[in-house]
Amino acid sequence: MAEEKQSLRVLGVFAHPDDPEFFAGGTFARWVAHGAEITFVLATSGDKGSDDPNMTHEELVAMREEEERRAAAALGVQDVVFLRYPDGELYPTLQLRRDITRIIRLKRPDIVVTCDPTVYWYGTRALNHPDHRAIGAATLDAVYPTARDRLNFIELERDEGLLPHKVLTIYIAGAMDFTTKVDVTDWIEDKIRALREHRSQIPDMDAMAERVRGRSRDRQAAHDQVRYVEYFRVIQLER
């Protein structure tokens, strides 16, 4: 049976270009296919992500922003916002929280997707980027209580007419203690196609594709089935 179309508004708030695709590309593609309107917010433009000795910050920003726009479009997402904080220097400051609060009140999402601010490492072989922790902390603080309560950053209402907004559902990507898995079997190739747009970051596209399929494979599926999933900790707030 076909899944019913949804008129959901979704806001994905991440640190770098390519984060939406790596963390939740299949889920975003699935939601788009079912009628959701999605906006990506990138706190930085990834201006440190190059080992090319001739690369400049300005050239890399232009390159990575264009890669992200193409990657988002491959998932069906047309609305991409860059806050242009310095890459590798992100902190959950009041200014960052204000910027995210402004977009929440402007876009009024039903669902916000962001990173887990509590994860410092994955197993014994990988560390989490500090910018991922910072954007997760700032976003959760923007969702609750800042975007909800009108006296927080009152100038947003007074000067821009942006009324308070209560987000009801948060999907936290990259969480070790996940509560939900989203079946992205029909969208795993859309995720990979989007990631292929990040040419400045991924030297071996075929190896990337195999890693994504391997890491996304649902180990609990029946032995004769190949299913792909993405994992989240989902928080459902009361109205």
CA–CA dist 141, 139 (Å, integer): 5
CA–CA dist 109, 103 (Å, integer): 9
Q: How many CA atoms does the CB half-sphere of 174 hold within 13 Å?
A: 26
Confidence grade of residue 5 (pLDDT, cut at 50, 70, 90): low
Share the mean pLDDT of the chain.
96
pLDDT for position 1: 34
- CA-nearest of 97, 87, 81 to 11 is 81
* Contact present, 136 and 114 (Cβ < 8 Å): yes
* Contact present, 105 and 162 (Cβ < 8 Å): yes
Percent of the chain with pLDDT over 90: 92
Confidence grade of residue 48 (pLDDT, cut at 50, 70, 90): very high
Sorted by where each starts, the structural domains of the chain and their CATH numbers stand as 9-236 (3.40.50.10320)
Residue 180 confidence (pLDDT) above 90: yes
